[in-house]
């Protein structure tokens, strides 16, 4: 298996809003040397179900079609999905480099000319198949992508919609450079195979939508645990982590003078800044609590305590700088909201053991962290009001850092027996 994640930008040109996820270059080795349509159908009904990735299923399917005599030179598969930012996913295969790329497509891509003038846009609107010879001036005038296909020697292009019980749009394109295009007699057999292949597409769509929805609401780590079967109440594990608790300063007063609609816009900008900083540095966002944010930077085999502490501090400093940019007018759509400047936050960092797992009622669970360390982090965050520092941390985090820190003294936390030493980055360190 040659799946290559996080590859650099490929030589292929993708429009704005389209990002490479992974690729596979198994080539002809991903299928038998010879194949019949009957054998492909048997594989689709049995063996293909064992492939965990749509990328691998499609790649093997393409090479099996070639082994059965179909002269394919380009193939693409496009599926819609349920995601707050993504329009869908696509898989693009070319015979010239024997590689299949998986890409994710942002919602904004649907607003580009390259999408609006593509045959796929018409298929998604009408649901009707499209077949063109890219070499003809008429096809090139109708769809600009035909010019590129013609230059690559493509003589026949077929785009087929996929039927689906969901509201999401799916299509597959097949193209050949064979003189005269596809053999008309092969079309019914290929169409029948595509109908069976569509069942695998539906299976992967359902899986991808579940992953997208769960990860968007729970986070990647918690989402993977839930999807892998960790769904019983009380199921979880004790982990060590640097805990992040933050709160928007003056939220009550802000809510009194700003309308609900505008407050949502403002909170989204605020949370995008803070949560984005956490995610950029490898943290896990667990919960939005009104104007509060709970996150963790786990400590384990992959990340030692010093690395987690530094990542948490770097994320906190990025968040503070991001709010400074917001206050300076970095987002034009906030300009029409009066009375919100400046946004300020308080971030507390603490290190300790927490229980990471399912908590709640049998019919309504939440995947979160609990434990004395979480409570202590919350109490430290409350000290922001008196200490007037944007970032506070306990000695358990401070001892892991090699940066200039100010010691702000010993402080008694509600519900904690002993006084706790509190530290904060020196202002010059935050400015850097």
pLDDT tens for the chain, residues 1 to 432: 445 544 444 466 776 778 888 899 999 999 999 989 899 999 998 888 888 788 999 999 999 999 999 999 999 999 877 666 777 889 999 999 999 999 988 877 777 777 788 898 898 888 888 999 999 999 999 999 999 999 999 999 999 887 655 555 788 999 999 999 998 777 677 888 888 888 888 777 777 777 766 666 666 666 666 656 666 666 667 888 999 999 888 777 777 777 777 788 888 888 889 999 999 999 988 888 888 889 999 898 778 999 999 999 999 999 999 988 888 876 666 666 776 678 889 999 999 988 877 777 777 766 777 888 888 999 999 888 889 899 999 999 999 999 999 999 988 888 777 888 999 998 765 544
| Signed CA dihedral, 101, 107, 113, 118: sign only | positive
Identify whether residues 174 and 276 lie together within a single domain.
no
Supply the pLDDT for residue 40. Answer: 93
Q: Does residue 205 share a domain with residue 239? A: no
220-227 and 187-218 helices, crossing angle to 10°: 120
CATH number for the domain that contains residue 201: 3.30.450.40
Query: What domain range includes position 76?
Result: 3-217
119 and 18 fall within a common domain: yes
Residues 183 and 262 grouped into a single domain: no
Instruction: Say yes or no: 14 and 29 in one domain.
Output: yes
In this structure, are residues 246 and 278 in contact, taking their beta carbons and an 8 Å threshold? Answer: no
* Listed residues 184, 200, 217: the one ending a domain: 217
Chain centroid offset of residue 257 CA = 35
Q: Are residues 258 and 334 in the same domain?
A: yes
Do both 145 and 100 map to the same domain? yes
Contact 232, 359 (CB under 8 A): no
Q: Report strand pairing: 130-132 vs 99-106.
A: unpaired
Domain stops at, among 191, 217, 243: 217
Q: Which two tokens stand for residue 399?
A: 């001892």
pTM, two decimal places: 0.61
Claim to verify: residue 192 and residue 248 sit in the same structural domain:
no
d(CA 351, CA 229): 28
- Statement to judge: residues 204 and 238 lie in one domain: no
Which pair of structure tokens corresponds to residue 428? 């010059």
The CATH number that applies at residue 363 is 3.30.70.1230
Residues 165 and 289 in one domain: no
pLDDT at residue 245, rounded to an integer: 93
Domain tally, the chain: 2
Cα dihedral 31, 37, 38, 42 in deg (nearest 10)? 40
Measured CA to CA, the distance from residue 253 to residue 87 in angstroms comes to 38
Are residues 153 and 230 located together in one domain of the fold?
A: no
Residue written as token pair 């995601």: 83
143 and 47 in one domain? yes
The gap from C-alpha 35 to its chain's centroid, in whole angstroms, comes to 37
Domain boundary, last residue among 194, 217, 240: 217
Cα separation, 354 vs 382, in Å, equals: 20
């Amino acid at each position: 298996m040659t799946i290559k994640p996080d590859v650099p930008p490929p030589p292929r040109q993708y429009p704005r809003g389209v990002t490479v996820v992974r690729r596979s270059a198994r080539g002809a080795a991903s299928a038998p040397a010879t194949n019949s349509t009957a054998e492909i159908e048997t594989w689709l009904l049995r063996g293909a179900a064992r492939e965990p990735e749509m990328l691998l299923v499609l790649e093997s399917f393409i090479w099996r079609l070639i082994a059965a005599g179909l002269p394919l030179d380009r193939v693409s598969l496009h599926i819609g999905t349920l995601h707050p930012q993504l329009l869908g996913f696509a898989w693009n295969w070319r015979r010239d480099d024997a590689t299949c790329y998986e890409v994710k497509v942002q919602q904004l891509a649907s607003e580009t000319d390259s999408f609006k003038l593509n045959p796929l846009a018409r298929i998604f609107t009408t649901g009707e198949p499209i077949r063109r010879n890219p070499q003809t001036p008429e096809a090139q005038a109708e769809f600009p992508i035909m010019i590129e296909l013609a230059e690559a020697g493509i003589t026949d292009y077929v785009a087929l919609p996929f039927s689906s019980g969901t509201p999401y749009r799916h299509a597959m394109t097949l193209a050949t450079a064979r003189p005269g295009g596809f053999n008309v007699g092969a079309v019914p057999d290929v169409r029948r195979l595509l109908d069976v292949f569509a069942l695998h597409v539906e299976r992967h769509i359902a899986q991808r939508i579940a992953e997208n929805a769960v990860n968007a609401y729970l986070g990647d780590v918690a989402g993977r645990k839930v999807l892998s079967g960790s769904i019983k109440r009380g199921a979880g594990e004790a982990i060590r982590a640097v805990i992040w608790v933050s709160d928007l300063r003056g939220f009550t007063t802000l809510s009194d003078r700003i309308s609900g609609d505008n407050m949502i816009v403002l909170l989204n900008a605020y949370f995008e800044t803070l949560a984005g900083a956490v995610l950029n540095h490898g943290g896990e966002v667990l919960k939005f609590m009104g104007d509060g944010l709970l996150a963790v930077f786990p400590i384990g085999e992959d990340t030692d305590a010093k690395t987690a502490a530094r990542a948490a501090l770097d994320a906190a400093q990025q968040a503070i700088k991001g709010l400074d940019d917001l206050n300076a007018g970095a987002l034009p759509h906030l300009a029409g909201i009066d009375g919100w400047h400046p946004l300020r936050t308080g971030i507390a960092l603490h290190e300790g053991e927490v229980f990471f797992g399912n908590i709640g009622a049998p019919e309504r669970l939440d995947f979160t962290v609990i434990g004395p360390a979480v409570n202590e982090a919350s109490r430290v965050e409350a000290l922001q009001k008196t200490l007037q520092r944007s970032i506070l941390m306990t000695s358990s985090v401070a001892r892991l850092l090699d940066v200039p820190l100010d010691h702000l003294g010993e402080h008694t936390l509600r519900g904690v027996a002993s006084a706790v030493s509190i530290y904060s980055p020196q202002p010059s360190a935050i400015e850097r």
